[in-house]
């Protein structure tokens, strides 16, 4: 089949786009607002964009408040910091719970029965239950060109200034044991996948 996204002529029951670029890692973004209220939400339009300096991005769609911003985007643009907690198999339910749309004064970390711990370098909190935390300094926002008022996305770029890895995930040879970490990825619709010992494989690069 072929279709042109702008014409919305795929003829399928659901937009197939996010079932094609899969799996997408889930950045579980914690931030804090100017009054000190913590916020947490998962974002799967999320990825690493380069190695040095380590840099990550995520894209935020339209929020439900008057300013049409999601709380994560508003907090990060105001305070200039955020943490990407990496969601895994053990935290999948809380990750999903934290995507509920609640007003900015509600702390989703409490709501999802999660524990916060202080970051080393920044003021935004980390989620203790997540296996990896990337402390990030906000770099810039990029407004993605759009077709309509309802499909508005802003891409947020952040430099990773501190990285926490759960100690038991480091092997004796100094590698990260990804199979033990059990990261989950977003597929299309409401489907997910997980990386474990059965789904991992290795390929050496050609010389």
Ligand X SMILES: Cc1cc2nc3c(=O)[nH]c(=O)nc-3n(C[C@H](O)[C@H](O)[C@H](O)COP(=O)(O)O)c2cc1C
Q: Binding to ligand X by residue 26, rule CB under 6 A?
A: yes
Q: Which residues make beta-bridge pairs with 181? A: none
Nearest distance, CB of residue 63 and ligand X, angstroms: 5
61 touches ligand X by CB under 6 A: yes
- Distance of closest approach, residue 10 Cβ to ligand X, in angstroms: 20
- SS (HEC) of the chain: CCCCHHHCCCCCCCCCHHHCCCCEECEEEEEECCCCCEEEEEECCEEEEECCCCEEEEEECECCCCCCECHHHHHHHHHCEEEEEECEHHHHHHHHHCCCCCCCCCCHHHHCCCCEECCCCCCCCEECCCCEEEEEEEEEEEECCCCCCCCCCEEEEEEEEEEEECHHHECCCCCECHHHHCEEEECCCCCEEECCCCCCCCCCCCC
The only residue of 18, 96, 141, 193 in contact with ligand X, by rule CB under 6 A: 96
- Return the number of the residue (100 or 128) whose C-beta is nearest ligand X: 100
- Exactly one of 32, 57, 70, 136 binds ligand X (CB under 6 A); that residue is 70
The stretch near ligand X (CB under 6 A) out of 6-14, 43-51, 117-125, 199-207 is 43-51
The residue (of 63 and 162) whose beta carbon lies closer to ligand X is 63
Q: Using the rule CB under 6 A, give the single segment among 4-12, 57-65, 78-86, 118-126 that binds ligand X.
A: 57-65
- CA 14 from chain center: how many Å? 23
Q: Which is nearer to ligand X, 99 or 177 (CB)?
A: 99
Q: Does 107 bind ligand X (CB under 6 A)?
A: no
Does position 23 interact with ligand X (CB under 6 A)? The reply is no
Q: Is 45 in the site for ligand X (CB under 6 A)?
A: yes
Residues 140 to 159 in contact with ligand X, rule: CB under 6 A: none
Question: For residue 147, what are its two tokens?
Answer: 């077709």
- Residues in contact with ligand X by the rule CB under 6 A: 26, 39, 41-45, 59-61, 63, 70-72, 96, 99, 101, 186
């Amino acid at each position: 089949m072929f279709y042109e996204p702008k014409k919305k002529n795929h003829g399928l029951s659901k937009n197939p786009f996010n079932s094609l670029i899969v799996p997408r890692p889930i950045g579980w973004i914690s931030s804090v607002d100017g009054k000190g209220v913590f916020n947490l939400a998962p974002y799967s339009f999320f990825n690493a964009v380069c190695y040095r300096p380590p840099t990550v991005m995520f894209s935020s769609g339209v929020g439900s408040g008057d300013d049409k911003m999601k709380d994560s985007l508003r907090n990060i643009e105001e305070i200039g910091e955020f943490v990407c907690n990496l969601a895994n198999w053990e935290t999948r339910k809380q990750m999903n719970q934290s995507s509920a749309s609640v007003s900015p004064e509600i702390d989703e970390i409490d709501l999802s029965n999660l524990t916060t711990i202080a970051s080393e370098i920044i003021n935004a909190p980390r989620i203790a239950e997540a296996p990896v935390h990337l402390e990030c300094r906000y770099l810039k926002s990029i407004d993605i060109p759009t077709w309509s008022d309802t499909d508005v996305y802003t891409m947020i770029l952040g430099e990773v200034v501190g990285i926490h890895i759960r100690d038991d995930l480091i092997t004796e040879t100094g590698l990260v044991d990804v199979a033990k970490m059990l990261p989950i990825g977003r597929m299309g619709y409401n489907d997910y996948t997980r990386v474990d010992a059965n789904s991992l494989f290795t390929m050496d690069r050609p010389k």
